Structure 1
């Protein structure tokens, strides 16, 4: 999960730098770089490329494309740390979907913690530095579909190779991004070509280790490490992109992180009991 966090942080930094490009073109290039890894590896290891649980793999791919596109678009409106913080309210939605579809129970104290996390979102919106409403909606939509992804990966479990799961996602991103960016195409220069293609490399590493982490160990133990990405993004945004975070924004981020990490701790404690 730590390898995943570092890789995704580098990818997000590159996306922010490439904000003159449409989200669709970035999704397109994000998929190309990853497919250069997944397809050869699947062929090399003679893994059935279509998998066995096609319905769940397709749903995971669709949810992934929507979440990724919304998040990349949100970076055009929000600072790095704010966008990532809002996106990682996803465990709230994952818990709701798990309750509805996997019949997993949610304790009253967990609902209270989710309420605190949403309070953090409201503080960021109400008192943060120039938080754009469109960016906020896009980041929350990304979080909702990320929550769906967590439940779908849990549903798929270890019945599918992680490369197959990622490949479904990236093939759909390639088709969707390619079609949508036709009317939004911008010719990259040499440096931009390198950065665009590197998104897929960092995204592949991040996605691979994220999937392996959730497949190999309990979600409630692994998930808190994901919030290191928020810290990395705030630091990068502050020192590289000169973004400004006031105390209200940082308080909102802190409420989101603490409440959701404590929620994971409660689930872990329950599982040990």
Structure 2
């Protein structure tokens, strides 16, 4: 999981560094780096590219493209650590959507924890340093669609190979990003091209090691480590981009992370 969070933190930081490029071009190159791994692995293992639940796979891919585009767009307006932190409110939306569509129950203490996390968002917006309203809207939209993705993946269930799910997402990102970037296309330098493709590689590595982590240990032990990504991106933002995080921003981030980590323990204990 530590390898995973480092990969995701670096991916977000590279995207931040490339923010002079149009977001659609970033989405396009992000997909190429991942497809470099998924397509050969699907062919090697003789897995069907189309999968079984095509409707839900398409929905997951579409929602993924929207969420990814909104998140990358938010990095044009927000410090990288703040954007990553705010995107972590996605489990709140996931729980609400699961309540509506899957009839999963939410315990009263979970509502309290979600409220604490949401107060963290309000504190960051109200008192945090350099929190742009447009960036806030984009990152919260990303979190909403990410919450929907969790529900769709539950609907897909274990019947689909994870490679197929990721591949649908990346193929749609490739097509969408490629077409939308045509009017804004700018040829990257060799270094920029390397960073572009690295975002896809890092995204794949992050997904791979996160999956391995959850397969190796219980969720309630592994999931909280995921929030190290917030700490790492804040450090990268401060030292690489010279971003400023005041005490209110840090306090808001702590509320978000602590509320959602404790929610993981509540859910895991409820299932035992």
Range into which the TM-score falls when normalised by the shorter chain: over 0.9
Q: Compute the displacement of 1:150 (Å).
A: 1.6
In the TM superposition, what whole-angstrom CA distance separates every residue of 1:37-76 from its partner, at most 9, and x where no partner exists? 1111111110111111111111110111001000000000
Taking structure 1 as reference, are residues 52 and 149 closer, same or farther at Cα in structure 2, changes over 3 Å only? same
Q: Compute the displacement of 1:222 (Å).
A: 4.3
- Where does 1:1-273 land on structure 2 (aligned, <5 Å)? 1-210=1-210, 222-272=222-272
The normalised TM-score by structure 2 is 0.95
Moved more, 215-224 or 81-90: 215-224
Q: Compute the displacement of 1:208 (Å).
A: 3.3
**Runs of 5+ consecutive residues of structure 2 not aligned to the other structure:** none
Moved more, 132-141 or 219-228: 219-228
**Runs of 5+ consecutive residues of structure 1 not aligned to the other structure:** none
Q: Compute the displacement of 1:27 (Å).
A: 0.2
Q: Compute the displacement of 1:4 (Å).
A: 2.4
Secondary structure of the corresponding residue to residue 10 of structure 1:
helix
Taking structure 1 as reference, are residues 209 and 149 closer, same or farther at Cα in structure 2, changes over 3 Å only? farther
Instruction: Give the Cα separation in 2 of the matches to 1:11 and 1:64.
Output: 16
Secondary structure of the corresponding residue to residue 263 of structure 1:
helix
Q: Compute the displacement of 1:221 (Å).
A: 5.3
Taking structure 1 as reference, are residues 220 and 64 closer, same or farther at Cα in structure 2, changes over 3 Å only? farther
Aligned length in residues? 272
The normalised TM-score by structure 1 is 0.95
Instruction: Give the Cα separation in 2 of the matches to 1:215 and 1:182.
Output: 40
Moved more, 229-238 or 218-227: 218-227
8 Å contact kept, 1:125–1:131: yes
Q: Compute the displacement of 1:217 (Å).
A: 7.3
Instruction: Give the Cα separation in 2 of the matches to 1:98 and 1:210.
Output: 22
